[in-house]
Structure 1
Amino acid sequence: MKSRKLTVIIVSLCMCVSVLSGCGSTAEKEQVQHAAETQTAEAEPDTSLEDGEYTVNVELEGGSGRASVDSEAKVKVTDGQAYATIVWSSTYYDYMLVDGKKYTNENEGGNSTFTFPIAGVPCTMDVVGDTTAMSQPHEIDYTLTFSFAKDVSFKELKQTGQVKLSYADQFQIDEYGNYKLITIVDNGRFLLIPKGVPVPADVPEDVTVLQQPLNHVYLVSSAVMDLICQVGGLSHVAYTALKEDDWYVQQAKDAMADGSLVYAGKYSAPDYEQLLQGGCTFAIENTMVTHNPEVKEKLEELGIRVMVERSSYEKHPLGRLEWIKLFGILFGKQQQADDYFNKQVKRVKPIMEKKSTGKKVAFFAVSSDGTITVRKPNDYVSAMIGLAGGTYSLGNYTDEEKNALSTMKMQMEDFYSAEIDADVLIYNGTIEGELTSIDELVKKNSLFADFQAVKSGQVYTTGSNFYQQSTGTCDFIEDLNQILTGEGDGTYRFLKKLQ
């Protein structure tokens, strides 16, 4: 570090002499200037870190050599600012001076412990430690060097923790010090490596390495855009598989309007050339890509790592919402994701603890061919209805088509038989568009006029944003609970009552 600074000073002096004397050719002056700029760039590497917690190596120089600090320190980064916590081998340090600011011991009675801001990792900084071990307190000059461990082997990594998941069961995140191993059911493992942390040797072939920051991302799965926006991760996404008019997430629509988010082809036919030219190295797909396996293979062949998310396979509605933790971690927004998720759970916890009202709720849409599209009984939508205090029932109707889809088709006669006595009808506005009135529903099929919910005026619709607005889970539960219990002021965030 000192040699680099010396080089910069020497080059700068040469430039000054050259300018003052007027000597040297233009080419020589440009060469000197280029050298100075290069040395300056090398002398100031980017040591900033993504928000999160890290374990780093610490070296201490200075003093008599009798005192030391623990060889590892915890570094926490919040809003881009890194804070290091070091532990001394002595109990006698009562304060430290870092960049002229005083920091007092945090561990009274134990080994002296201090937390203070650092520029990043790696970094070297001069500090002062005040010790009371002698007859009089003495301030002693020290130099601290923070760095990440080198020559790390995947085989030697030891699990240090696991991200707590309360409802989701389609993914898991294990912590190995600075590394996080993400496992997605039936879709592989990913080793997430923070910026500045070395890639371990001996990474297994079935583990995909993801190095942060993850930028220029190609987001195909529209259902998770809302989650990414909620944690402030949209700036990491540059490409999408939807056009502007197809977005119901306003932030995504706005980003496409200002050009920061660009259409790069649908999931089955991405614009590979555009993605490569734009520096894309990571794509987030949903399970639709399994119908076109050649697309995933091509992306990976081009060096674009592919993660297939399975949030729609979560049985518990809050499990689907809990995927926000994964995207928060991917984009360095873990704290924001945790805070948002905990706040949402707190909203609906009292509702979930109530007894069921026993009222029957139907959730459906009328297709253009006259058939009725409903959600399967084990789907997250039926689970949301249950959490809100309702009962999702299709009578004795069973799905004859055994597939992985979350929806199934019914003939109107079967739906009539199963749901004529339903207390509440909710129309799914994402399939054929939302309804504007009960009359519009009856026009689709006159048999709806016989339904109990139609006669009592208990007919509601979701907006066209139902599928994309993943963070609306708790809004839906609160709205439906208000409808079923008759409590509240009749103001709904997610559902619309039809007249």
Structure 2
Amino acid sequence: MSFLRTRAKGHTATLLCTLLACVAIVLAGCGGTSVTSAASAQENYVVDVQLSGGSGRASVSSPCTVVKDGDSYVATLVWSSSSYDKMTIDGKDYVPTTTDPGSTFEIPIKLDCDMAIQAETTAMSEAHTIEYVLRFDSTTLVAASDAGNSSPDSDAAKSQAASTQVGDFHNTDIGCGWQPTGTVELAYATHFTIDAFEGGYKLICVSNGERFLMVPEGGEVPDGLSSDISAICLPANRTYLVSSSTMCLIDAIGAIDNIKMSATKAEDCSVAGFAQALQSGAMVYGGKYSAPDYERIASEGITLAIENNMINHNPDVKEKLISLGLTVLTEQSSLEGTVLGRLEWVKLYGVLFGSEDKAEQVFEAQRASIEAVAQKNASKDSSIKVAYFYINSNGAAVTRRSGDYVAQMVRLAGGTYALDDTQEGSGSTSSVALEMEQFFLLARDADVIIYSSSIDDSVHSIDDLVAKNNLLSQFKAVQSGNVWSTGTNIYQQMTSSAEVISELSQAIEGSDGQGFTQLTKLN
């Protein structure tokens, strides 16, 4: 554990030194003139946004985050669909920074006016451009740090405030005077907490502002419980699981029997236990996150839904689930910046499904495996540069930011992440879309290329990759033949992180990939 933290601190220190050096250079070039840096002038806000036009089926997340720089505003706009690959505003095209959880764009905006925009979607058989109007309401503009207080009934505002100030969400005041008797130790996860109370009660706080009190079997919900806390009466054995990335964690602790309904079909599920349960009928398909089968949910007596952040784009779905008597827990593991932080969410599922000891064992085993791989790679020549990306339908290279867990896996494997030397490592999303010319300048000298087939499964050879853009033929890794692809379901295989790091380490060393299960070498 100390080794991983030391490396993370070292990387942070390097980035900080680089940033300070850049600031010094900028100031030196000012010739002594008193100026205010752009970074210090920037302010973070959230604001309500309205979308009109189109068929009415699409929506955008509201409120959204806004960065104010002088008199200009740049908003991070998240669509309810991952199929939007271009927005056009005042004749200028913008590509998404990520499509997970939905197509996300960073766009300049104006407050209190109708902004006519065009958005291209690939959801149909061919690309279609649709006319929309956006309106950002200045009366709802509040500082991001105050967003949780601006609208007490706004789940999105609570989520934004929590993600901005992660440490502020831990609140053990449950409203009835009870005091916690202990806290579950978390070594890496930063987006949830677990506190114990007398009688077997446990409180889960999640960084989006949600709080849940686990009521032991046979226990009663305490009088005076705070209105923002949802009580989950154990056993939680009638659960609708929407977040597919958590399946492997639930499988690892032997808790599949608690999941009665899934938002993933058997043919799309890479976790064998879940696929078998769906095929046998022990678990049923309940529809995707945006269109659940409400009738079946009611008939099956489902009491708990475990969602991911996509549900924030469909608040009406969440409200409907709650009206049917379900408790909705929105897991935040994708926001963790470290591999072990994501894996430590297994402890939350251990509490939910009565498998705390097993969850602890699973996490410690994962930690031991990852630390062993990291220790083995500690003395490697970290000058080997690795580029991780996919090409979206607009021709942009979508890669992960340098603070993301994928970049950390590269470093743990003994490599250097291709975006480490750019300011693209900071931002409001875990991914960033770069025009190919810019990506070429950053990554053309990468020694290893990892293509994300979990997003784009059309690349099966180096020729397929180069067909995406001929500039890729000039990449060092393409010319040397050191090009790899991930499995299509790698995001469902969180518990295979140690294997991914190990295989990535071998790819860096020049392996031919024989016997690999997570990466495939392209010819």
Q: CA deviation at 1:197?
A: 2.5
Q: CA deviation at 1:339?
A: 0.9
Q: In the alignment, does 2:435 pair up with 1:411?
A: yes
Secondary structure of the 1:476 match is helix
Unaligned runs of 5+ in 1: 1-152
Distance 1:264 1:480 in 2: 36
Partner of residue 356, structure 2:
334
Partner of residue 391, structure 2:
366
CA shift digits 1:323-359 (9 cap, x unpaired): 1111122111111111111111111213334145221
Q: In the alignment, does 2:204 pair up with 1:191?
A: no
Contact 1:363 1:427 in 2 (8 A): yes
Query: Match for 1:212: what amino acid?
Result: L
Q: What pairs with 1:434-453 in structure 2 (closer than 5 Å)?
A: 435-453=459-477
Contact 1:441 1:448 in 2 (8 A): yes
Q: What pairs with 1:423-442 in structure 2 (closer than 5 Å)?
A: 423-433=447-457, 435-442=459-466
Contact 1:192 1:212 in 2 (8 A): yes
Partner of residue 377, structure 1:
402
Distance 1:449 1:209 in 2: 56
Distance 2:356 2:366 in 1: 16
Distance 2:249 2:233 in 1: 21
Partner of residue 160, structure 2:
none
Q: CA deviation at 1:464?
A: 0.4
Distance 2:399 2:239 in 1: 33
Q: CA deviation at 1:398?
A: 4.8
Under a length normalisation based on structure 2, what TM-score does the superposition of the two structures give? Answer: 0.63
Secondary structure of the 1:290 match is helix
Contact 2:243 2:308 in 1 (8 A): yes
Q: CA deviation at 1:451?
A: 1.2
Q: CA deviation at 1:301?
A: 2.0
Secondary structure of the 1:192 match is strand
Candidates 216, 219, 243, aligned match of 1:221: 243
Partner of residue 317, structure 1:
339
Candidates 269, 272, 275, aligned match of 2:297: 275
Query: Match for 1:205: what amino acid?
Result: S
Contact 1:282 1:304 in 2 (8 A): yes
Secondary structure of the 1:467 match is helix
Q: 1:489 to 1:422 in 2, by over 3 A?
A: closer
Q: 1:443 to 1:489 in 2, by over 3 A?
A: closer
Query: Match for 1:411: what amino acid?
Result: E
Partner of residue 233, structure 2:
211
Unaligned runs of 5+ in 2: 1-173
Q: CA deviation at 1:397?
A: 5.1
Q: In the alignment, does 2:483 pair up with 1:455?
A: no
Query: Match for 1:363: what amino acid?
Result: Y
Candidates 455, 468, 486, aligned match of 2:492: 468
Distance 1:188 1:159 in 2: 18
Distance 1:489 1:220 in 2: 33
Q: In the alignment, does 2:183 pair up with 1:162?
A: yes
Q: CA deviation at 1:202?
A: 1.6
Q: 1:400 to 1:195 in 2, by over 3 A?
A: closer
The structure having more radius of gyration, on CA atoms, is 1
Q: CA deviation at 1:412?
A: 1.5
CA shift digits 1:345-397 (9 cap, x unpaired): 11121333414522111001122332211112221111111222211123765
CA shift digits 1:50-93 (9 cap, x unpaired): xxxxxxxxxxxxxxxxxxxxxxxxxxxxxxxxxxxxxxxxxxxx
Distance 1:452 1:339 in 2: 42
Contact 1:434 1:463 in 2 (8 A): no
Contact 1:395 1:418 in 2 (8 A): no
Partner of residue 134, structure 2:
none
Partner of residue 252, structure 2:
230
Distance 1:482 1:402 in 2: 31
Query: Match for 1:317: what amino acid?
Result: V
Distance 2:425 2:515 in 1: 39
RMSD: 2.2
Q: CA deviation at 1:487?
A: 8.4
Secondary structure of the 2:490 match is coil
Q: 1:265 to 1:401 in 2, by over 3 A?
A: farther
Distance 1:441 1:158 in 2: 58
Partner of residue 260, structure 1:
282
Q: What pairs with 1:70-109 in structure 2 (closer than 5 Å)?
A: none
Query: Match for 1:481: what amino acid?
Result: S
Q: In the alignment, does 2:423 pair up with 1:394?
A: no
Q: CA deviation at 1:179?
A: 1.0
Distance 1:347 1:210 in 2: 33
Distance 1:477 1:175 in 2: 35
Q: In the alignment, does 2:201 pair up with 1:176?
A: no
CA shift digits 1:276-299 (9 cap, x unpaired): 111011000111111111211221
Distance 1:248 1:172 in 2: 29
Distance 1:430 1:217 in 2: 26
Secondary structure of the 2:176 match is helix
Q: CA deviation at 1:459?
A: 1.1
CA shift digits 1:98-140 (9 cap, x unpaired): xxxxxxxxxxxxxxxxxxxxxxxxxxxxxxxxxxxxxxxxxxx
Under a length normalisation based on structure 1, what TM-score does the superposition of the two structures give? Answer: 0.66
Q: CA deviation at 1:490?
A: 5.6
Q: What pairs with 1:469-484 in structure 2 (closer than 5 Å)?
A: 469-484=493-508
Identity score, percent? 41
Secondary structure of the 2:432 match is strand
Distance 1:376 1:205 in 2: 38
Partner of residue 240, structure 1:
262
Distance 2:212 2:466 in 1: 50
